[in-house]
Chains A and B, each alone.
Chain A
Amino acid sequence: GAVVSQHPSRVICKSGTSVKIECRSLDFQATTMFWYRQFPKQSLMLMATSNEGSKATYEQGVEKDKFLINHASLTLSTLTVTSAHPEDSSFYICSARGRATGELFFGEGSRLTVL
């Protein structure tokens, strides 16, 4: 099946710094990618829909200035957590939808720890 790669898998940073997470579709073009946040033992919370060549669509309650999303090409979307604080510590996952069938493919996830 199609592969979505996410990097880094783990990142630890100091409070106040910014962290960038990359999501790549390795063998297909994705006009739409999705970013989620997951707390321990909870389901996925959709943060935003990333659209190639246009602004991301954020879910209600998600700060767009805090979580910057860029989808500059058909194979790459990035999530930047700006001025990170300990409460931003979480598991962030991306997904991309295949054009032919609409199947969702997920990255491996990125665990962010803000000290």
Chain B
Amino acid sequence: KQEVTQIPAALSVPEGENLVLNCSFTDSAIYNLQWFRQDPGKGLTSLLLIQSSQREQTSGRLNASLDKSSGRSTLYIAASQPGDSATYLCAVGQTNAGKSTFGDGTTLTVKP
């Protein structure tokens, strides 16, 4: 059974700082890994999708990496802004159609 862990559970940084969020998974036979952002009381917004054959994906100030052999993914946020404050979740998909396993998320607070 796949288990996904996100560390830290909460993170507070001053504006402008670069930061890394971590996601680890126990079963390396994955189809893809996806990072999401969730604002309070809202649904999830997809940030980056990494297929199992890929090592990283980039979008603006965000960069996500994937190391299947070690069961790890990181989400790098450059030059953080207060608007980045949210909960970030990673989700591991085992197949292209089945359910994904979610971590519990990292709640990020970026202070002005």
Contact = CB atoms under 8 A, between A and B. Distances in A.
Interface of A: 1, 6, 31-32, 34, 42-44, 46, 49, 91, 93, 95, 97, 99, 101-109, 111
Q: Determine the main DSSP class of A at the interface with B.
A: strand
A93 B44 contact: yes
A101 B43 CA distance: 20
A10 to B, nearest CB: 10
A103 B43 CA distance: 15
Contact of A31 (B43, B97, B100): B97
Interface size band for B: 20 to 34
Contacts, number: 59
A42 B38 CA distance: 12
A66 to B, nearest CB: 20
A43 B102 contact: yes
A111 B41 contact: yes
Nearest to A41: B107
B34 A103 contact: yes
B28 interface: no
A6 B103 CA distance: 23
Given A95-B44, A105-B46, A34 B34 contact: no
Nearest to B45: A106
B104 A102 contact: no
Q: For the complex of A and B, list the 8 residue pairs with the smallest distance between their C-beta atoms, beginning with the closest.
A: A102-B96, A106-B44, A106-B43, A109-B43, A43-B104, A108-B43, A103-B49, A44-B102
Contact of B103 (A43, A49, A103, A109): A43
A97 B97 contact: yes
Contacts of A32: 97-98
